[in-house]
Amino acid sequence: MADTIPFLNLAETTARYSREIHEAVARVIDSGRYLNGEATSRFESALATSCGADYAIGTSNGLDAIRLIVRAAIETGRLSPGDEVICPANTYIASVIPFREFGFRIRLVEPDTVTMNLNPARALEAAGPRTRCLMAVHLYGYPCWSEELNRLAGRGIFIIEDNAQAIGARSATPGLRGTHITGGLGHAAAFSFYPTKNVGALGDAGAVTTSDKELADAVRALANYGSDRRYHNIYCGYNCRLDEIQAAILEVKLRHLDEESCRRNAAARLYAESITNPAITLPCVKQGDTHVWHQYVIRTPHRDALKTYLAGRGIMTDIHYAVPPHLQPCFAGQFSAELPITERLASEVLSLPIANMTESNILRIAEALNAWRN
């Protein structure tokens, strides 16, 4: 039998940049400075520049990046505990968790059936007088920005981007400051550099970007015990810092982001050209948007059978996500809205391997998919 095609082999991604990563880590080790040093500042500048934001603050991980934005927005009077927030129902649970922590009323909105991202018309419809915040999750690497979001911001709604999956993606619709790159579209954005993300650390890491100086200062202070200068604490904050070793690794990874996005894009294009089975729905990209393919998500009502079939042919797949946030035990009984589109997607989506793919492996997967009869 042919070799197994893994869903994701992170060692292979790391190996591509091994020499640069080893050198970057060695420089930090030898410097004697392991937190709040030059590697972190350099990475923060590079990240801010890459998405057209004025400020970037490195954080411990993506979930903390979201928490810091929400807390900073509260501390600076942009949001208040108890406010209503609109979140996409089809997302990873980390997009939603921080709002619960701060007592927000979470309103889940059904996805667009084509993009699987937040349905902008539904978001507009859901926004009422109590709505103060919107969580724009660029799910699977697809930019979810739209004119409706600009309109909601015009009504005073604070828009946070969850850019954990879409670093480097470009939206056809410009954001609040006229730029097009995710992370620079809304009022603030959260990034995750979890190892499997398109820019992955070798451990946990994240970041916040914003062009709001007051918010950036609050995020930076909150991530460092609430301290705005040494031994002077203006907030009861957290310890959510990015460390120098991860920052140095991320500097290398960010430098190669375009190259990585091109690889993913080429793989996605080849899948789209080669998969012809009408029982399978392929992901699609709207004119002018640039997808960065964090996941390549296909759909079929017979998903579990297809997953088993592929596994039998040595092709490993994954599901993003099998159980949506509102059906998780931690949220049991807390969301009364019916979310049939989200629940149907959860039963139909299947993620194909997309990173580090050779042409022959993609063709082998396409062939298996085309031969599949449910």
Ligand X SMILES: *Cc1c(COP(=O)(O)O)cnc(C)c1O
Is the sign of the CA dihedral 12, 317, 145, 208 positive or negative? negative
Contact flag: residue 215 with ligand X (CB under 6 A): no
Q: Where are the beta strands (DSSP E) in 225-322?
A: 227-229, 232-233, 296-299
- d(CA 298, CA 339) in angstroms, rounded, equals 20
Contact flag: residue 246 with ligand X (CB under 6 A): no
Residue 138 · residue 166 · CB < 8 Å = yes
Distances (CA, A) of 240 to 62, 97, 225, 303: 10, 16, 8, 39
Contact flag: residue 161 with ligand X (CB under 6 A): no
- d(CA 180, CA 28) in angstroms, rounded, equals 34
Between 91 and 290, name the residue whose CB sits nearer to ligand X. Answer: 91
**Applying CB under 6 A, which of residues 25, 57, 73, 94 lies at the interface with ligand X?**
94
At its nearest, how many Å lie between ligand X and the CB of residue 4? Answer: 25
Stretch in the footprint of ligand X (CB under 6 A) among 30-38, 88-96, 100-108, 153-161? 88-96
Contact flag: residue 63 with ligand X (CB under 6 A): yes
List 299's β-bridge partners, or say none: 281, 349
- d(CA 43, CA 345) in angstroms, rounded, equals 37
**Applying CB under 6 A, which of residues 13, 39, 40, 62 lies at the interface with ligand X?**
62
Strands 55-59 and 206-210: antiparallel
User: Which amino acid type is present at position 132?
Assistant: R
Contact flag: residue 206 with ligand X (CB under 6 A): yes
**Applying CB under 6 A, which of residues 50, 165, 210, 211 lies at the interface with ligand X?**
165
Contact flag: residue 61 with ligand X (CB under 6 A): yes
Contact flag: residue 99 with ligand X (CB under 6 A): no
**Applying CB under 6 A, which of residues 83, 162, 260, 289 lies at the interface with ligand X?**
162
Stretch in the footprint of ligand X (CB under 6 A) among 57-65, 146-154, 209-217, 356-364? 57-65
Q: List interacting residues with ligand X (CB under 6 A).
A: 61-63, 91-92, 94-95, 137, 162, 164-165, 192, 194, 204, 206
